């Protein structure tokens, strides 16, 4: 579909000022950003980051750069006691930026009861403001309500709201459940997705390392060929300042990645995505 939105996650730009990030993305040929507010992935922030004045500033930055926002990542455990209060503010912020999707985690399995109470309130607000909630599979090896694609249908059926779906990320599967084939799981999850992330990862004895698309073990090309048969929008998420330790916990480098190094990865990533979106996955016998 020619009007498919391919966003670039803000994750690789961790540590860079927003205007510089947006200008760099635009120079790479991107049209949309997925702002990334993910504890452990990015610089520290608090809820003041989501104040109305900050949303207004973001709108000015977006307008100045010619970029737009379709999705935002803002991961918390929605089973937390304060999840409704915290996430409502983040939802309103995302919508103020123009986002139509906000991506987050579901919840630790032990917080299941509170999660279902919270998601009922959040889904009603999502409907009221026109913002879908994408539940993303984590990568840290914990026990979540959404560990693999197999958990998706039952979870979404129990939630029972059209504004809640999956934002599946096969690049998380490799560290979260190493015994599961990421591309197979991604294709299983796809019918339940309202958005998806694409990133590549290689693993070795030292942990999990994010690579340029097509150079890791995820089989991103196969996933993208399957996405090409859907109406899904997607984001390229390459957290270049980060790797995961052998126990799957994230570890950030003490320095930000130079803009020229980020652009050297993102330009071919956009080309890779566009190439494979133009080659639909053939039906398999």
Q: What is the mean pLDDT of residues 198-209?
A: 97
Per DSSP, helices labelled H in the chain are 18-27, 52-65, 83-96, 112-129, 152-159, 170-176, 182-189, 220-227, 259-277
pLDDT of residue 285: 28
pLDDT of residue 40: 77
Does position 222 have pLDDT exceeding 60, yes or no? yes
Q: What is the mean pLDDT of residues 158-180?
A: 98
Per DSSP, helices labelled H in 216-258 are 220-227
pLDDT bin (cut points 50, 70, 90) of residue 2 is low
Does position 142 have pLDDT exceeding 50, yes or no? yes
Distance between CA atoms of 212 and 266, rounded to whole angstroms?
Answer: 8
Does position 202 have pLDDT exceeding 70, yes or no? yes
Distance between CA atoms of 285 and 166, rounded to whole angstroms?
Answer: 27
Instruction: Transcribe 140-187 into DSSP letters.
Output: SS--BS-SSGGGHHHHHHHH--TTEEEEEEHHHHHHHSTTS-HHHHHH
- Contacting residues for 262 by C-beta, under 8 A, at least 6 apart: 12, 13, 24, 240
pLDDT bin (cut points 50, 70, 90) of residue 44 is confident
Distance between CA atoms of 237 and 171, rounded to whole angstroms?
Answer: 9
Q: What is the mean pLDDT of residues 101-117?
A: 98
Given a contact cutoff of 8 angstroms between Cβ atoms, the answer to whether 68 and 40 are in contact is: no
pLDDT of residue 281: 44
- Condensed to tens digits (0 to 9), the pLDDT of residues 78-107 reads 999 999 999 999 999 999 999 999 999 999
pLDDT of residue 42: 83
pLDDT bin (cut points 50, 70, 90) of residue 158 is very high
Distance between CA atoms of 129 and 124, rounded to whole angstroms?
Answer: 9
pTM beyond 0.85: the answer is yes
Q: What is the mean pLDDT of residues 51-61?
A: 97
So where are the chain's domains?
6-277
What CATH architecture is 6-277?
Alpha-Beta Barrel (3.20)
Q: What is the mean pLDDT of residues 262-266?
A: 98
């Amino acid at each position: 579909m020619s009007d498919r939105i391919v966003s670039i996650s803000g994750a690789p730009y961790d540590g860079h000022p927003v205007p510089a990030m947006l200008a760099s993305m635009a120079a790479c040929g991107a049209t949309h950003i997925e702002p990334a507010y993910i504890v452990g992935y990015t610089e520290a922030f608090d809820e003041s980051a989501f104040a109305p004045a900050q949303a207004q500033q973001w709108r000015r930055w977006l307008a100045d750069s010619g970029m737009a926002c379709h999705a935002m990542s803002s991961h918390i455990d929605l089973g937390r006691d304060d999840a409704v209060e915290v996430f409502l503010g983040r939802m309103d912020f995302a919508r103020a930026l123009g986002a139509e999707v906000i991506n987050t985690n579901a919840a630790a399995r032990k917080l299941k009861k509170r999660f279902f109470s919270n998601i009922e309130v959040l889904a009603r607000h999502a409907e009221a403001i026109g913002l879908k909630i994408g539940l993303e599979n984590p990568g840290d090896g914990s026990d979540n309500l959404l560990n693999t694609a197999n958990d998706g249908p039952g979870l979404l059926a129990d939630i029972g709201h059209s504004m809640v779906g999956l934002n599946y990320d096969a690049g998380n599967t490799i560290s979260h459940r190493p015994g599961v084939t990421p591309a197979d799981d991604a294709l299983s999850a796809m019918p339940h997705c309202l958005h998806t992330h694409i990133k590549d990862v290689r693993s070795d004895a030292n942990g999990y390392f994010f690579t340029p698309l097509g150079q890791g073990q995820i089989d991103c090309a196969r996933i993208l060929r399957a996405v090409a048969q859907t109406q899904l929008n997607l984001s390229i998420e390459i957290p270049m300042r980060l790797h995961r330790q052998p126990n799957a916990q994230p570890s950030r480098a003490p320095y930000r990645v130079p803009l020229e190094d980020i652009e050297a990865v993102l330009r071919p990533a956009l080309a890779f995505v566009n190439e494979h979106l133009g080659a639909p996955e053939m039906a398999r016998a």
